[in-house]
């Protein structure tokens, strides 16, 4: 007897290598634009989604999270860890993978690496929101924190918002040099700065993305002038923030999902009823975005399951045309569904 | 430049085919005993575990669940669906896969199919509990419901409790014939019955495992005499039960995790404060099991995350000796953890 699995038992799997090939095949900037489009579509139908804060398992050294959501037709979840001390041991702070499944049958339809894809979708989300909230014709961004996410953020701002110059700063000079080297030749003016204050000079967009799991003050109040857009990525779990509370008080604050952001984001420093605006409401026109040139807008980004869902949908839609996946024998699927034991017996080689 | 992933980026993956090979390599009965041992070890250290009820996404046609847990060193979760209507379309009611990760780094260390493994661990758990609670020297089991789980249940009762005879009944005669054919030659007396009452004749253990997502009465009160052990598998989600409430009132009830069983198990039919005993307490001696020959003991089994954790631990411990896995390129792992973008750029083939 053959034990060749049926089509239903095979789940398309996008490995890290296939994801890198996919990004290059499509082109990183085009893919960032594509991801932003998928995220925008899903944010516009926000109310359709089954939303639940992520399910977190905290330990002394980090956190492992499951982020599920569903639009009623497709279910998705992401596994993601956050271990700031990992870099000291040569490991990634964040690794991730994700899955899509068919709600009607419960069968998985895509398994994908999501370390790279999360970096791409986080950057696409930041740029989508900056296009919505940053001053018109923003050309200069300060990038504070030059770790694994920094180049993706910069490239997305170029692809989606028309950024022309990035000003880099990190407490670790080697990180800034790495980031500058990676961004060389991508069509941006790249300036390495030795202080955060220097990086912010002339910037309309200020992105903060540092990784310490603690309350830190990356930006203090007197560094922030009027009219800028702050894209705060690094404050993304309880006890981890980057901005001085006084900046939050002066800013109009925009979030993905308030129930999650109040626990994990910069606004964990504020009163529970401090007013915030949800991004999906700005996208649908239900709420206002930037109202004046002087306003400070702040995107307090923590990452939400729907963005991963959109990113996985995007990847799934590229599979057929690119063939950049393998079929994983992950689901037992006997000819007679009640005959799981018979399938096992027939697989016996002796 | 090479884009060969480092060891840390490769996650051992046990496919359906490898799982079938593993079961045959070890021997199904030996593996059931091994799984029961691992489950017993973990039940005995129950209070160590991070326990949370499963995270369920319900739809009209079924449910998709994530079941996470952790013992502080290792984190595990299972993805599992339950779609009773699937069998009508040639699909499995339940498919599953699972993952183990290192709590200290957050890196996954095992991805495994769990459709077969769940059938094995459910059966091992049932038999472990029957060994604890069923009348001494039980030799005969009634198996009500002869679907995908029935042969595994029967074989585990043979391997772990010394079962000699199984009496089969299903409303669908073809299911009973399938089950009897699969069990032929495995060293048991197999009797096909045409009613549930006939199946129960002379049985010391009564296992119910039917799949309709509704309140059904598979066993009515007058069918159950004194001194039996009831192993109720099929009542495992809200709105799905198999036993008449009067049976529950006459039984001493044992459960895995009361918080979950009161929502999903047979006891959803009882008052919220109806007394139940937790299996781990019987295993550690903190609570009594069977107290008399006349007592009806009932294991109201819904399946708990720790059983999956134990099963994945067991599989992981077989990998090195058997080599029955493949290495999955699932985690991006650049040489410099902050240089994810550089890894992506170097993977460019042009």
For the stretch A156-181, pLDDT in tens is: 999 999 999 999 999 999 999 999 99
B positions 35-74 inside 8 Å of A (CB): 50, 52, 55, 57, 59, 61-64, 66, 68, 70, 72
Q: Determine the Cα–Cα distance for residues B26 and B132; give it in Å rounded to an integer.
A: 25
CB contact under 8 A, A108 and B91: no
A197 inside domain: yes
**Is residue B103 in a domain?**
yes
The CATH number that applies at residue A54 is: 3.30.1780.10
What are the pLDDT digits (tens) for B319-332? 999 999 999 999 98
B294 has pLDDT over 70: yes
Residues B267 and B317 in one domain: no
CA atoms B145, B150, B154, B157: torsion sign: negative
Q: Cβ of B65: how many Cβ atoms within 10 Å? A: 23
CA atoms within 13 A on the CB side of B83: 26
Does the structure show a pLDDT above 70 at A5?
Answer: no
pLDDT at B212: 63
Residues B193 and B323 in one domain: no
Confidence of residue A3 (pLDDT cuts 50, 70, 90): very low
Q: Is residue A230 within 8 Å of residue A297, measured between CB atoms?
A: yes
pLDDT at B2 over 50: no
- Identify the pLDDT of residue B350: 53
In angstroms, the Cα distances linking B109 to A104, B76, B80 are 30, 10, 19
Which residues of B are annotated as catalytic?
236
> B247 and B317: one domain?
no
Residue B125 counted as domain residue = no
Helices A150-161 and A173-183, axial angle in degrees (round to 10): 40
Q: Does B332 touch chain A (CB under 8 A)?
A: yes
Residue A125 lies in a domain: no
For residue A128, being part of any structural domain is answered with no
Lowest mean pLDDT among A235-239, B153-157, B256-260, B275-279: A235-239
Sign of torsion over alpha carbons A121, A125, A126, A131 = positive
Same domain, B222 and B287: yes
* A315 and A272 part of one domain: no
Which residues between 168 and 227 in chain A have a beta carbon less than 8 angstroms from any beta carbon of chain B?
A: 175, 178, 181-182
The reply to whether A333 falls in a domain is yes
Contacting B residues, span 96-155, partner chain A, CB-CB under 8 Å: 97, 99, 101, 103-108, 113, 115-116, 119, 146-152
Residue A3 belongs to a domain: no
CA distance B346 to A160: 24
- How far is Cα B116 from Cα B184, in angstroms, rounded to an integer? 20
Is residue B132 helix, strand or coil? Answer: helix
pLDDT at B223 over 60: yes
- Its ipTM equals 0.91
Does B283 lie in the same domain as B156?
Answer: yes
The pLDDT, as a whole number, for residue B219 is: 86
Q: Which of A95, A181, A343 comes nearest B107 by C-beta?
A: A95
State whether B290 and B152 are in the same domain: yes
Domain of residue B188, residue span: 133-303
pLDDT above 70: percentage of residues in chain B: 95
The rounded percent of chain A whose pLDDT value lies above 90 is 77
Length of chain A measured in residues: 350
**In this predicted model, what pLDDT tens digit does every residue of A121-159 receive, in sequence order?**
999 999 999 999 999 999 999 999 999 999 999 999 999
Q: Are A137 and A261 found together in one domain?
A: yes
pLDDT tens digits for range B179-205: 999 999 999 999 999 999 999 999 999
Per-residue pLDDT tens digits for B239-280: 778 898 999 999 999 999 999 899 888 899 999 999 999 999
Judge: A16–B332 Cβ closer than 8 Å, yes or no.
Answer: yes
Residues B20 and B75 in one domain: yes
User: What is the tally of structural domains in chain A?
Assistant: 2
Out of A236, A293, A329, A333, which one is annotated catalytic?
Answer: A236
Residue B207 and residue B197 in contact, taking contact as beta carbons nearer than 8 Å: no
Whether residues A13 and A55 share a domain: the answer is yes
| A253-304: pLDDT as tens digits | 999 999 989 988 899 999 999 999 999 999 999 999 999 999 999 999 999 9
Beta pairing partners, A78:
A67, A98
**Average pLDDT, integer, range A16-39:** 97
CATH number of the domain that residue B231 is part of: 3.40.50.720
Rounded Cα–Cα distance for residues A108 and A105 (Å): 9
Residue A195 within any structural domain of the chain: yes
Instruction: Quote the tokens at residue B345.
Output: 């750029």
pLDDT at A290: 96
Mark whether B43 and B160 lie in a shared domain.
no
| A265 and A336 inside one domain | no
């Amino acid at each position: 007897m053959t034990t060749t699995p049926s089509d239903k038992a095979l789940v398309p799997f996008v490995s890290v290598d296939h994801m890198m090939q996919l990004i290059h095949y499509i082109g990183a900037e085009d893919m960032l634009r594509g991801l932003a489009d998928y995220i925008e579509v899903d944010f516009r139908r926000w109310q359709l989604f089954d939303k639940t804060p992520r399910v977190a398992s905290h330990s002394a050294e980090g956190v492992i999270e499951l982020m599920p959501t569903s639009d009623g037709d497709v279910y998705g979840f992401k596994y993601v860890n956050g271990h700031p001390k990992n870099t000291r041991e040569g490991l990634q702070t964040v690794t991730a993978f994700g899955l899509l499944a068919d709600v009607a049958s419960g069968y998985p339809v895509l398994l994908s690496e999501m370390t790279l894809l999360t970096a791409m979708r986080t950057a696409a989300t930041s740029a989508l929101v900056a296009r919505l909230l940053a001053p018109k014709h923003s050309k200069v961004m300060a990038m504070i924190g030059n770790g694994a996410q920094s180049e993706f953020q910069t490239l997305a701002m170029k692809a989606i918002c028309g950024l022309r110059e990035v000003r880099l700063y990190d407490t670790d000079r080697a990180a800034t040099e790495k980031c500058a080297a990676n961004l060389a030749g991508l069509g941006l003016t790249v300036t390495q700065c030795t202080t955060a204050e220097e990086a912010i000079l002339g910037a309309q967009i200020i992105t903060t993305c540092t990784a310490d799991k603690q309350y830190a003050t990356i930006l203090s109040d007197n560094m922030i002038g009027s009219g800028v857009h702050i894209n705060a990525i690094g404050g993304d779990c309880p006890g981890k923030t980057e901005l001085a509370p006084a900046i939050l008080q002066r800013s109009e604050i925009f979030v993905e999902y308030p129930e999650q952001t109040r626990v994990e984001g910069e606004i964990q420093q504020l009163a529970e009823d401090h007013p915030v605006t949800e991004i999906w409401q700005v996208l649908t026109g239900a709420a206002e975005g930037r109202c004046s040139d002087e306003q400070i807008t702040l995107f307090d980004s923590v990452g939400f399951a729907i963005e991963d869902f959109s990113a996985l949908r995007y990847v799934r839609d590229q599979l057929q045309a690119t063939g950049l996946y393998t079929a994983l024998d992950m689901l037992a699927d006997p000819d007679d569904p009640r005959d799981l034991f018979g399938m096992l017996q027939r697989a016996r080689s002796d």
